[in-house]
A and B are shown apart, each in its own frame.
Chain A
Amino acid sequence: MGMAEEILLRINGTEHRIHSDPATPLLFVLRNQLGLTGAKLGCGLEQCGACAVLMDGVSQLTCATGVGEFQGRDIVTVEGLSNGGTLSAVQQAFVDAGAAQCGYCTPGMVVAVTAMLDRAPSPTKVEITEALTPHLCRCGAHPRILEAVARLIGPGGVDD
């Protein structure tokens, strides 16, 4: 087992000084040390997308990358997307579209859509598929997640 080190993390706008083996994946630090259980453990193999957070605005899986790699980065978890009682536009669109069944995949989906729209406010169908294909959902909430994306893009709609 590696040695615990002091690691400085910037999460949801707050600096955290934590002690951890830098090889411990960020996900376990978020969930077990910082009480941020929004990101989920789905596979630990970077195959399902349940553990995604924003790293410098980009969707990043956290189940296999050591916490050490996240030093100096700006990390936003799904908890950090809403502001007090106000949901982000993406979160609100998910609520309005009813884009969750069991909700287990939802935090990862919300993060993926947030990152995609930051990069491409009017994404094409291909861009949407590319952004969401790394994310698994077993309940079949896909059509409603796509509906949430369509609401966010607005009346112009999705280009092919």
Chain B
Amino acid sequence: MTDNPSLLNNPNLDDWLIILPDGDIEARSGKVDVGQRISTALAIIVSEEMDVDLEHIQIAPPATIGFPDEGMTTGSNSIEQSGHALRRAAATARRHLIGIAVEKFGAPAECLNIKDGLIGVTGTNQTINFAELMDGGGFGIPVDPNAPLKPTEDHRWIGNAATPRHMTEFVTGAFSYVHDMALPGMLHARPIRPPHANAQLIDFDPKVTAQLTGDGIIIVRNGSFAALAGEDEYALIKAARRLAETAEWDLGDGLDTEDVFQRLRDNEHLSLPVVDGTPVDDPAPALRDPPPDAAQTLSARYERPYVMHATIGPSAGMAVCTDTGIEVWTHSQGIHSFRASAAEALGVAPDTLTVHHALGAGCYGHNGADDAAFDAVLIARAIPGRPVLLKWTREDEHAWEPYGSCMAAETRASINAAGQIIQWSQDTYSDTHRGRPRPDPGGDGPARLLGARYLSDPARAFSAKPTMTRQGGLHRNLDPYYDFPDTRLVKHLVRDLPLRTSALRCLGAHVNVFALESFIDELARAAKIDALAFRLNHLSDRRAKTVLNACAEAIGWGDVAAEGHGLGLAFARYTNSKTYAAVGVDLSVDDAAQVHLNRVVIAADAGEVIDRAGLSAQLEGGFLQAASWTLYEQVTFDESGITSRDWDTYPILRFDNVPDIETILMERPGDAPLGAGEAVGGPAAGAIANAIFNATQIRMRRMPFTPDMIRAAAAADTN
């Protein structure tokens, strides 16, 4: 038996593996590669279990037909779902192929060997390849979740460095992203967005529309959704700008500019207690009095503004509408859910749409990909027969992607005279992290697509329901992994916040762990106990202690920090069930209050390491993205709309603040591999805040840690 949803939903071996006529193996996964190198890890797994060289494993980007439906590629689940499934599939296939060979050769299985895609009879020169054994047929059997795996000591590929897939195409420019596709008869397209989310289109300037039409540009309009299509991409960019500027818009009341941190306190919210990481549909418990043996009780509030996915390549989508249906190419992380929502928004059957994944630029989460694909579909329906390649501009992406929510986390804890935490409470306030398209018949499906909100028959206003799954949305890592007694954890889904939000790498964990790991340092200081020792005193899981100790040692914890430097530590186990990660940061803060990251150590236990290079790259990339949110990023807006619309007004981390990073991986061959892509985001924020305190005695509780914010925090401390 298995509880892996990927196998339960796609039980047949033929769903996963195909032996090609030349003996190569096509592995089919429903998970998409968005630069996290999941396809490299999956290829390693298949290669290992089937004893076929890596270069003979083919993995194509999935589509809604012909590939297993594995839901969305989210939550650091791919290695535990697709990796687990393909490993069992490959082991089943190997056993099956040997079974056929036994009959063919009339030799017992013990006398057969398998190497480089050939099965041979040991001691003879008789061999046969997989394709000959299959004789053009499929497997026709289910995946056996208990098929014996290759013993760890025989591993050739698992845990070793493999060249990531597509690397040569990346460095030569040969790789084709959605943005680079060219289909015969294709038109380029650009959307025309209102000045802000609450504005409506009254009309375009007829003189401008006449001129553009005269130039061969097609104007597509449905309500306040509008776009241009034409042959010349650059002409379209200019035309779109001109058309938007000369259009008449109903600006309504503009955006609500009340301070979002005040809104997080004041707005109506839905409050749910979180028990063992899972929300419970009960009234939220009130904050209790500190226990009688409390020696000290501290409280604090930690905050993050809205932040962006901020992908380097603005979102794009390709669609073509023909008599047989609508075909779409998208860099969405959930092609099936996109299809379901799009079909509902269009009022067509889901199987009218075929959706292919094609790579876009990385960023991890629900960026503009789905919206751009839906924009392309709307335009393609208006121009049947012509493929439409729609691209957002940089401004579109900055202004219209669904952001990572602004958040606030309020912590309170009591410690006893011995410096042990004896009561713990955290309240986290946030908008939804669950705005992705998803099947929701009769519900909010269409409202999850930006374009559908602006049609003349618009999708009804989106109203997020609280995520009730274990370690979901805003309560991800709200439940501390430490052994705290008497915990009170409450999630608050805040209503009527001004901007659209959805899933961004780490979801709530970036802020929840930032709060928890900053507060732990504050408590350790109050207890006059070293912050590392204080953490270890509250941890019973050996693997957690191991990563913390390894990280502390490598960052030089306990040594005297260099002049002007500060050290900070933080730890989390992602979703309390995935990768363990400890982060150590050595930074300095200059006279202008600029933070310079000098050195970083990441110690991680991700179970069995599959793709060593890929795992380190994900951990380090995760650190840098989170460091960027934490140090620099904030979506800004006023009544007239989003004002952070480019890389100057929304700066992100650049090469001038990239630290030396040392990554230490715990070796656990034979253990279950654990998802790692988001493991470092929360600890990164905590470790940076703690290191800033160590360097300056300034406690940063609101991101981003820009010079202005650091000076403001210093001023508040002295008042």
Interface 1/0 per residue, A93-137 and B, CB below 8 Å: 011001011111111001000000000000000001100110111
Is B170 in contact with A48, judged by CB distance below 8 angstroms? no
A40-B313, A91-B172 given as contacts; is B391 within 8 A of A140 (CB)? no
B residues 305-333 in Cβ contact with A at 8 Å: 309-314
- Which of A28, A98, A137, A146 interacts with B312 by CB under 8 Å? A137
A129-B655, A132-B655 given as contacts; is B312 within 8 A of A103 (CB)? no
B61 contacts the other chain (CB 8 A): no
Q: Is the interface of A mostly helix, strand, loop or mixed?
A: loop
Is A136 in contact with B647, judged by CB distance below 8 angstroms? yes
Is A143 in contact with B620, judged by CB distance below 8 angstroms? yes
A14 contacts the other chain (CB 8 A): no
Residues of A within 8 Å of B360, CB to CB, are: 102, 104
Distance A19 CA – B259 CA, assembled complex (angstroms): 52
Is B168 in contact with A79, judged by CB distance below 8 angstroms? no
Is A100 in contact with B171, judged by CB distance below 8 angstroms? yes
Binds A, one of B231-239, B473-481, B570-578: B231-239
B153 contacts the other chain (CB 8 A): no
Is A101 in contact with B35, judged by CB distance below 8 angstroms? yes
A57 contacts the other chain (CB 8 A): no
Residues of A within 8 Å of B715, CB to CB, are: none
Binds A, one of B176-184, B350-358, B423-431, B687-695: B176-184
B residues 121-173 in Cβ contact with A at 8 Å: 163-164, 166-173
Interface 1/0 per residue, B623-639 and A, CB below 8 Å: 11100000000000000
Q: Give the distance to chain A from B193, nearest Cβ to Cβ, in Å.
A: 16
Interface 1/0 per residue, B348-383 and A, CB below 8 Å: 000000000001111100000000000000000000
Residues of B within 8 Å of A87, CB to CB, are: 168, 171-172
Interface size class of B (residues with CB under 8 A): 35 or more
| Closest A residue, CB atoms, query B180 | A37
- Which of B177, B310, B394, B624 interacts with A45 by CB under 8 Å? B394
Residues of A within 8 Å of B414, CB to CB, are: none
B76 contacts the other chain (CB 8 A): no
- Which of B173, B174, B232, B654 interacts with A39 by CB under 8 Å? B173
Is B34 in contact with A107, judged by CB distance below 8 angstroms? no
B289 contacts the other chain (CB 8 A): no
B residues 207-262 in Cβ contact with A at 8 Å: 215, 232-235, 237-238
B613 contacts the other chain (CB 8 A): yes
Is B171 in contact with A95, judged by CB distance below 8 angstroms? yes
Interface size class of A (residues with CB under 8 A): 35 or more
A18 contacts the other chain (CB 8 A): no
B652 contacts the other chain (CB 8 A): yes
Residues of A within 8 Å of B614, CB to CB, are: 98
- Which of A25, A32, A104 interacts with B177 by CB under 8 Å? A104
Is A133 in contact with B179, judged by CB distance below 8 angstroms? no
Distance A106 CA – B177 CA, assembled complex (angstroms): 13
Residues of A within 8 Å of B173, CB to CB, are: 36-39, 77-79, 107
A94-B167, A98-B164, A104-B362 given as contacts; is B617 within 8 A of A50 (CB)? no
- Which of B35, B391, B654 interacts with A139 by CB under 8 Å? B35
Q: Give the distance to chain A from B66, nearest Cβ to Cβ, in Å.
A: 24
A94-B171, A98-B613 given as contacts; is B312 within 8 A of A48 (CB)? yes
| Closest B residue, CB atoms, query A95 | B167
Distance A102 CA – B311 CA, assembled complex (angstroms): 10
A43-B394, A102-B362, A135-B655 given as contacts; is B623 within 8 A of A140 (CB)? yes
| The 6 A-B residue pairs with the shortest CB-CB distance in the complex, in nearest-first order | A38-B173, A102-B35, A140-B621, A103-B170, A102-B362, A140-B624
Residue numbers of B with Cβ under 8 A of A are 34-37, 163-164, 166-177, 179-180, 182, 188, 215, 232-235, 237-238, 309-314, 359-363, 391, 393-394, 613-614, 617, 620-625, 646-648, 652, 654-656, 658, 660-661
Given contacts A40-B312, A101-B617, A102-B361, 11 further A-B contacts (CB under 8 A): A1-B238, A38-B174, A39-B173, A44-B393, A95-B167, A100-B35, A100-B171, A133-B656, A136-B647, A138-B363, A142-B655
